[in-house]
Structure 1
Amino acid sequence: MEQDQPVERDVSPESDDPRDHDPDHRDHFGADLELNRFDGLPFSSRYYRLLQERRELPVWGARAQVLDALVDHQLVIVSGTARTGKSTQIPQWCAELCLSARYRHGTVVCTQAHRQQAVELALRVADEMDVNIGHEVGYSVPLKSCCSHDTVLRYCTDDTLLREMTSDPLLERYGAVVVDRAHERTLSTDILLGLLGALLRRRPGLRAVVLVDPPLAAAQRLRSHYGGAAALVCLEVPRPAQVVYANHNYNGTAASGGGHSDDYFYSALRLVLELHRTRERGDVAVFLASTQEVEVAHSILQRESTRLGADLDRLVPVKLCAGQAGPLPILGKDAASSKRTRRVFLSTQQGEDVLWATNTIHFVIDTGVEKRFVYNPRIRANSEVMRPISKCRADMRKQLCRPTGKCFCLYPEGKPLPAENSPRILESNITSTVLFLKRMEIGGLGHCHFIHRPDPEGLMQALEELDYLAALDNDGNLSEIGVILSEFPLDPQMGRALLASCEFDCANEMLTVTAMLSVPCCFLAPPAGMAHAAHQRHRRFHHPEGDHFTLINVYNAFQQSQKEPHFNAENWCRDNFLNHTSLETAEATRSELRDILNRTELPVSEPSFGTKANTLNIKRALLSGFFMQIARDVDGGGNYFMLTHKHVAQVHPVSGYGPTTHKRGLPEWVVFHEYTLAENNCIRTLSEISPQLFIEMTPQYFFYNLPSSESKDILQHILDRDCSRNGNADKKPKMSAAVHREVEEETSYDRCVIQ
């Protein structure tokens, strides 16, 4: 959501140099400094208490150096570990700089890699600045904005700022841009870093600050990327806690070998129980490789906690999973462990930031490995890869526990680790990135000087996919369709399907499908012993036409149930083994997408879910975006052959076509949403289609570029037969007789009834 340009205030100081307003020199200004320069009100007593705490932060010792760098340089790079205060203090100093210039160049925006971090930092900084959240200090994260006309310092996610650049390519409403946690190397952060050089050249009055964690070599490399013109400020590194290394590799992926690949997992859990038996106080943070391991570890520790002796404290495992929305319970200042409870935080790399919100962690157990999804452009799929974490991440985890605590590294001290985090731009599908950069060309900011350039094969695949989706014109520029697609916070395939639904008069239903596919899976894995009950509950939502239609059933049932008196959404979701957070997020996502359709003056149909014509139109809309994701059951046993790259996969168990869930048997031809090349090697979220419909909705040049296969021969035979019937062997028919009959049939058929 966009914010309006903040209004200028009359409380701006007479001096244009922010160094003249250093709080350490309050006595030089007398009564004037008793008023908050951001809102003109007297400071509260809490402000001075927090100011004293701020002065004790390591970053405060470099305040003068940072302010000098901001005045004398357009770009400043600050290197320092977590808990130095750089994420809270430096954006405030940038706000003072903009205030001293009377906001001639704009206000301040500070990006974060994760939404929860953006919210927590905004709340803390508003407290420190003695202003109200949502007024002088605010935040904007996906689906939620807490800003106003008065906001002078805004925290947001990196992807939120990129979305804003589609309408304001030069970020003219800002006088300072702070890119925090640049070492995370997320896709959106790398794009921002790549565009910074061009932004600074176009806007001499703009200031940019990049905040990174050590090693120093990474900050120096980033400085050289910008031609050495940036100022570099290095903060003092706090003394880490005691570190204990393993004397051998628990992880079998290391070059020196030793142990099975899952040894580190059970070693970490054994160590948790051993630490608990020592009765030494403090919470434990355990870093595992994947969300699946977090789930298994949580189950094991819950079971083991019931077997502990009555003389030991209560052991409470806590899951910190990727995609967890909203503030986390039991974390924060007021959530310290009780005298009889020890919490064990089970996290992956994605949940790491949340742990910095608590100061009760005494022990850290680092397995030293992570599972990452790496995109393969040749097969348009993610592969799950196990690999060691970076030295940068390992050092951060050592800082997490208190100085008197211990960090246990389940790998040898001499084990070689990559120096920095791997850039996601080298491992992700960059089709959306290319679409965004094409949009930036229209805004006059087309050149993106990447720190690590995307793989040429991935770049060519992205351009080819955009061409197939009609997002590019003959000159390789954005077409009218491409401009509209760039308005949606969706991957281009999903956006193209939603756009096509406006043409096929099923936008109401496709909004629901799109929203449900944009959030984590709504079906929860059942607890131990509840598998049958969960299966029976989930089966009530299954739709005979496929998983996309099942998602509509789930969403509609959730909406319908909310109309009942005394409805409790969380209880309803728990009873049906559904993810309440996912459904609430889908509701907000759907509303945002509908607003975009209305803003772009695209028609939204009236609900007609359940009619024959509507079902066919939904499939036509899906195929308009996902014609590159078609598979055929080659043996009737669920072995699906994918036409684009000739791989074979099975149906994901959660699908309505999964084992023991679909009474009608498996469909021969399906359109699917996702394919993951992992241990289970499966496709998920699939719906039945007819080969005739596929032929009619697929761009002809894409069809003829498909690799040769038996499945393609079948399609070619259908195409040739239909062309012969229409008396034109050189032209693809507009619509086969079979599909034409389906379109003409407006009669309703039985829906999947929600009991």
Structure 2
Amino acid sequence: MEFLTSSPEIHHFSELLDCSDGDEEEILICGDLELNPFDGLPYSSRYYKLMKEREELPVWNVKCTFMESLLHNQIVILSGDAKTGKSSQIPQWCAEYCLSDHYRHGVVVCTQVHKQTAVWLALRVADEMDVNIGHEVGYFVPFESCCTTETILRYCTDDMLQREMMSAPLLNSYGVIILDDVHERTVATDALLGLLKNVLVSRPELRLVILTAPHMSSKLQNYYGSVPLLRVENKHRAEVVYSCGIHKDHFSSALRLLFEIHHTKEKGDIVIFLACEQEIEQAYQMIRQEQSNLNPDLGELIPVPLYPTKQDLIPKPNQDKQKCCKKYRRKVLLTTSFGEPLIWIKNVNFVIDGGVESRKVYNPRIRADSVITQPISQSQAEMHKQILGMSSTGKLFCLYPEEFTQKEMKPHLPAKIQESNLTSTVLFLKRMDIAGLGHCDFISTPAPESLMQALEDLDYLAALDNDGNLSEFGIIMSEFPLDPQLSKSILASCEFECVDEMLTIAAMVTAPNCFLHAPPGTEEIALTRWRKFSHPAGDHLTLINVFNAFKEASAKPPSQYYSNEKWCRDYFLSCSALRMAEVIRAELVEIMKRIELPISEPDFGSKENIQSIKKSLLSGYFMHIARDVDGSGNYLMLTHRQVAQLHPFSSYSNTRRIPEWVLFHEFSISEDNSIRVVSEISPELFVELVPQYYFSNLPPSESKDILQEVINHLSPVSTTKEEEKTNHDSKENEKFPQPPTEQRCVVQ
């Protein structure tokens, strides 16, 4: 794996969520020169200091039992409360186990649900083990690797280990595989649980350790059979304060309570669980604005947004921050119920739980997500209490009455594999089928309708052959860590010679949204600044303009390097999202080179290039087409009867132009239905590139009738041209008449 040094953002994340009090001891060599078995160097004094802290963690009570279980069993399940130390300590003990066996069967890998958690844990554990990050301990997460061939303990996201299985189905380089946060029930973790059942049979020496919350332990025991189950509990139980009634506006109530706590002058950081990431962003801006109105004697409130899906958006430190500042600084961690694993601060004394969440549920019939706002589950509510497990004085404020927990909350949330688009998962399983591991015994059965829709979509994208196995095209698509539709567009761009531009689009739509919500009062300024990047052909080409402008700002002389951050602020753009797009694009270029696909020279701006980009996009996203049915921006999806409007971030919203036919990147059903990343297309281009059998399966609609008319209109013209060509060729050479070409729609 490629070795990369940690970025400044990662260093800041570690600093921001550091468990220490900031008074670091000088690193000294101990007099007895006790050697670290992992690198052969003497331990530092910091190692012993951290060892005392580690031994205070609840999980240390089961170390001996765990090591004994690991020695004699292939599978060990450890059920633990949140913040008991299992994610940091268990992997270290597994590393000791592999060391005792001289790594004969491999090293240790530990999966995490969130990228940020994998990075933070690697940094923390390297510190505790007294070794260098990127050497003995490392991490690999989407589009970033900090490992070498010598790394003995690797943290990674669950989807990255899943991708590694494509090239190494039996994961032979690992002696112990640890699946953490299994109770989060992500699609990748559930797939790993099923596939590793087969791997364990093929590799009797392999060890599988499963870390989960208590409510999931019995289900796992039933799934794996008679395996050891260890239980770890928190030392302290939080004081829970319930509300007298339901708060209709949980967002305002949570912020009001935050400021009330701050005015009491009670010390301790605060965690607020909000419903969605939009509320995180809104709360972050409101707390920063209110800061100037607060009594300076109360100290400073530092809002820290923790986005479960926008995992690279780590807030930057203030340039004027003084480390010696004596003013009290209280961190306010803003996240959703899915962001609980991101919370690593020790001195959290207050938790505010809104009790609701916005959850995306995929509907295979309309190929779109529905955003549902609903109460959190009982198991989530219990985990929110456990965040205060290290504090004997902490308080949990629930913005709902106690009876609401039993009457309105479900015991557990459904597994994400039962609520997600499974097209990428089925593509992965088809790839594993080539290695003989295609049968996956899922712990929770996916919805048959979702599986059928995934197979249908892969067939439309030409990823399957006539027998339902992966085609050569499908194998190449699976090499890209992208949505299959986006992979197909990249492959199509090789034919249409616009690879350079398509890679930029792929990077920009994969990275977090680069357009920032403008603070109140600056919306018009933001729209004016964004208008500079608008491309008349649509949002996909607008994103190319944004990326190229950012690259130009970054390419200034070294003395002005950091001016690109100011440039982003001036244009209301996210610098971290654009940097992530750079990283993603570079990785995609490497994949293209590795599998020997051609990369055309950039030609952005020419009429032919713009048309080629649209053809490439249509080759992958012909299922994402909508038409303005009334001339006022009400877009009806071609595949179903849902109506949506252009998202406010669309360049068309900015220029107030409403194209009739559009291709969109994303659509979800919510209170304000909107289609995101939209580009204008012509019906003629659509019928040229759509698979005929997809078009035939579309439900009857006015839009389909219009497209059929286009097909009927184009067919005679094409036939006439063909006849003219035939007559001309007949005059040239009577012996070789040309038969008329069959008219049909094909995937380019």
What TM-score, normalized to structure 1?
A: 0.88
SS of the aligned residue for 2:211 comes to strand
Deviation larger for 577-586 or 322-331: 322-331
| Deviation per residue, 1:210-255 (Å, 9 max, x gap) | 001223xx201111111x23211111332222111112222xxxxx
1:277 to 260, 263, 285: 263
| Deviation per residue, 1:391-438 (Å, 9 max, x gap) | 222222212232212111112223223333431111111100000000
- Counterparts in 2 of 1:278 and 1:46: CA distance versus 1, 3 Å: closer
CA shift for structure 1 position 471: 0.2
1:34-53 equivalence runs, <5 A: 34-53=34-53
1:306-345 equivalence runs, <5 A: 306-309=292-295, 312-322=298-308, 323-325=310-312, 339-345=327-333
1:618 aligns with 2:613: yes
1:572-721 equivalence runs, <5 A: 572-658=567-653, 661-662=655-656, 665-721=657-713
CA shift for structure 1 position 335: 8.8
- Counterparts in 2 of 1:85 and 1:483: CA distance versus 1, 3 Å: same
CA shift for structure 1 position 329: 5.5
1:351 to 315, 320, 339: 339
1:248 to 245, 248, 252: 245
Counterparts of 1:564 and 1:335 in 2: how far apart (Å)? 30
Counterparts of 1:560 and 1:314 in 2: how far apart (Å)? 37
How many aligned residue pairs are there? 690
2:556 to 564, 567, 577: 564
Match of 2:454 in 1: 462
1:425-574 equivalence runs, <5 A: 425-565=417-557, 566-567=560-561, 568-574=563-569
CA shift for structure 1 position 302: 3.8
Counterparts of 1:691 and 1:448 in 2: how far apart (Å)? 41
Counterparts of 2:383 and 2:186 in 1: how far apart (Å)? 17
Match of 1:411 in 2: 400
SS of the aligned residue for 1:494 comes to helix
SS of the aligned residue for 2:282 comes to helix
SS of the aligned residue for 1:727 comes to helix
| One-letter amino acid matched to 1:354 | L
SS of the aligned residue for 2:210 comes to strand
- Whether the aligned pair in 1 keeps the contact of 2:2 and 2:146 (CA below 8 Å) is no
CA shift for structure 1 position 657: 1.3
CA shift for structure 1 position 346: 2.3
- Counterparts in 2 of 1:245 and 1:105: CA distance versus 1, 3 Å: same
- Counterparts in 2 of 1:32 and 1:179: CA distance versus 1, 3 Å: farther
Counterparts of 2:363 and 2:48 in 1: how far apart (Å)? 54
1:149-228 equivalence runs, <5 A: 149-215=149-215, 218-226=216-224, 228=225
Counterparts of 1:161 and 1:229 in 2: how far apart (Å)? 26
Match of 1:378 in 2: 365
SS of the aligned residue for 2:140 comes to strand
| Deviation per residue, 1:716-739 (Å, 9 max, x gap) | 11211222223389932679xxx9
SS of the aligned residue for 2:651 comes to coil
Counterparts of 1:369 and 1:673 in 2: how far apart (Å)? 28
- Whether the aligned pair in 1 keeps the contact of 2:638 and 2:704 (CA below 8 Å) is yes
Counterparts of 2:641 and 2:145 in 1: how far apart (Å)? 44
| One-letter amino acid matched to 2:423 | T
| Deviation per residue, 1:337-379 (Å, 9 max, x gap) | 96534333222234333322x2232111111111111111111
Match of 2:274 in 1: 288
CA shift for structure 1 position 634: 1.5
SS of the aligned residue for 2:664 comes to strand
SS of the aligned residue for 2:369 comes to strand
- Whether the aligned pair in 1 keeps the contact of 2:115 and 2:311 (CA below 8 Å) is no
CA shift for structure 1 position 191: 1.1
1:136 aligns with 2:136: yes
| One-letter amino acid matched to 1:689 | I
Gaps of 5+ in 1: 5-30, 251-259, 740-755
| Deviation per residue, 1:117-143 (Å, 9 max, x gap) | 111111221122222211111111112
Gaps of 5+ in 2: 5-30, 721-739
| Deviation per residue, 1:523-569 (Å, 9 max, x gap) | 11111111111111000100001111101111111112223332421
- Whether the aligned pair in 1 keeps the contact of 2:719 and 2:741 (CA below 8 Å) is no
| One-letter amino acid matched to 2:130 | D
- Whether the aligned pair in 1 keeps the contact of 2:109 and 2:176 (CA below 8 Å) is yes
1:230-269 equivalence runs, <5 A: 230-250=227-247, 260=248, 262=249, 264-269=250-255
Counterparts of 2:49 and 2:691 in 1: how far apart (Å)? 66
SS of the aligned residue for 2:639 comes to coil
Match of 2:742 in 1: 731
SS of the aligned residue for 2:155 comes to strand
Runs in 1 of length 4+ with deviation above 6 angstroms? 334-337
| One-letter amino acid matched to 1:193 | L
Counterparts of 1:266 and 1:720 in 2: how far apart (Å)? 57
Share of identical aligned residues, percent?
56
- Whether the aligned pair in 2 keeps the contact of 1:118 and 1:157 (CA below 8 Å) is yes
Deviation larger for 100-109 or 163-172: 100-109
Match of 1:748 in 2: none
- Whether the aligned pair in 1 keeps the contact of 2:195 and 2:440 (CA below 8 Å) is yes
**Alpha-carbon RMSD:** 2.4
Match of 2:355 in 1: 368
| One-letter amino acid matched to 1:378 | R
| Deviation per residue, 1:72-102 (Å, 9 max, x gap) | 1101000111222211111111112212222
| One-letter amino acid matched to 1:325 | D
CA shift for structure 1 position 303: 4.2
